[in-house]
Amino acid sequence: MSVHAPGAPVQRRWFPAPLRVTFISSRLRKVGKLESVALGTLIALTILLLLVPLFAPHGATDDVGKSLTGPSVHHWMGIDEQGRDVLSRVLFGMRTSWFAAFEVIASGVVIGGLIGLVAGMSGGWIDNLLMRITDVFLALPGPLLVLAVVSALGPSLPHTLVAVGVVWWPFYARIVRGEVRSIASRSHVEAARMGGAGRLRVAFRHVVPGTFGAVLVTASLDIGALLLTLAGLSFLGLGSPAPAPELGAMTSRGLAYLFDAWWVPVFPALGVFLLAFIGNVAGDGVRDLVEA
């Protein structure tokens, strides 16, 4: 039993380290094997894609050999119509798509989360106004709004991300607002208010942490859908112009060679499938981990 001198601050720990490890391990055991593998793969894939420039065989736009050469020992996924290494372009394309999806999710969480927090904490006419604006965005046809924004701004990856972000934030606003309204009525929040805590302290100390679970689950489940959305827009020519390595655009341009040089469109399409599959299964794993 430890003895503290009078007036000495008592150090408090939220959860002893061994118990934290045991708690996390017990939750991980409740996650399915496939989801566990996908979670590990997601983390490893993120690290690997960060390091793509270090280990890719060639640059994304380097001319490395005779055009439309099939897969070989030196070029595992062959060479495309411009004499570029398909494996290198697929790796750079996966890197672009993966982190573009995270950028859209991050912007949606920040913008939608702030709007949902203000609406949930304020109530009254502010809540009604912000939610009616959110409803307007939710009522608009998402794909058409994205096409309109990209067409107005011009085809490029940053413009595509802006367009998709405009469509994506209302979902997070709704989720956060609902969580905030639920948490704000709980006894510990009322006790903090009665103890003299200011509105900002109540919001960021007692309410916001309670929304992390719902936001994390939603964000993890959005990864696969966002990857397919961004690939589809790139396929339609609304991404970065050539020769930028984008999986959707590479698949679209390679369709002309489908029967003569199948590797040109097939491997980028497989890259999209792999990313979306890992994102979807890992999202299920995160949901099971949070809700376990």
Instruction: State mean pLDDT over 114-140.
Output: 92
φ/ψ of residue 207, rounded to 5: -105, -55
> If you ran DSSP here, which 8-state letter would residue 45 be given?
H
What sign does the CA torsion over 59, 65, 67, 68 have?
negative
Residue with tokens 């002893």: 16
DSSP 209-227: GGGHHHHHHHHHHHHHHHH
What is the Cα Rg of the chain in Å?
Answer: 24
Q: Is pLDDT of 146 > 90?
A: no
Q: Are 142 and 167 in contact (CB under 8 A)?
A: yes
Lowest mean pLDDT among 23-32, 109-118, 156-165, 248-257: 23-32
Q: How far apart are CA 69 and CA 91, in angstroms?
A: 18
The more confidently predicted of residues 238 and 86 is: 86
DSSP 69-89: PPP-SSSTT-B-TTS-BHHHH
Instruction: State mean pLDDT over 130-145.
Output: 88
Q: Are 285 and 35 in contact (CB under 8 A)?
A: yes
Q: Considering the entire predicted model, what is its pTM?
A: 0.82
DSSP 125-171: HHHHHHHHHHHHHHHS-HHHHHHHHHHHH-SSHHHHHHHHHHHHHHH
Q: Are 247 and 93 in contact (CB under 8 A)?
A: yes
> If you ran DSSP here, which 8-state letter would residue 204 be given?
I
Q: Is pLDDT of 25 > 60?
A: no
Lowest mean pLDDT among 17-26, 106-115, 158-167, 253-262: 17-26
Residue with tokens 């304020």: 122
Give residue 22's pLDDT band: very low, low, confident or very high (50, 70, 90): low
Angle CA(237)–CA(95)–CA(49) in degrees, nearest 5?
170
CATH code of the domain made up of 77-291: 1.10.3720.10
Q: Is pLDDT of 2 > 70?
A: no
Mean pLDDT of the chain: 84
pLDDT digits (tens, 9 = 90+) for 57-96: 998 888 888 889 999 998 999 999 999 999 999 999 999 9
Name 79's bridge partners.
Answer: 85
Instruction: State mean pLDDT over 159-182.
Output: 92
Q: How far apart are CA 117 and CA 131, in angstroms?
A: 11
Q: Is pLDDT of 149 > 70?
A: yes
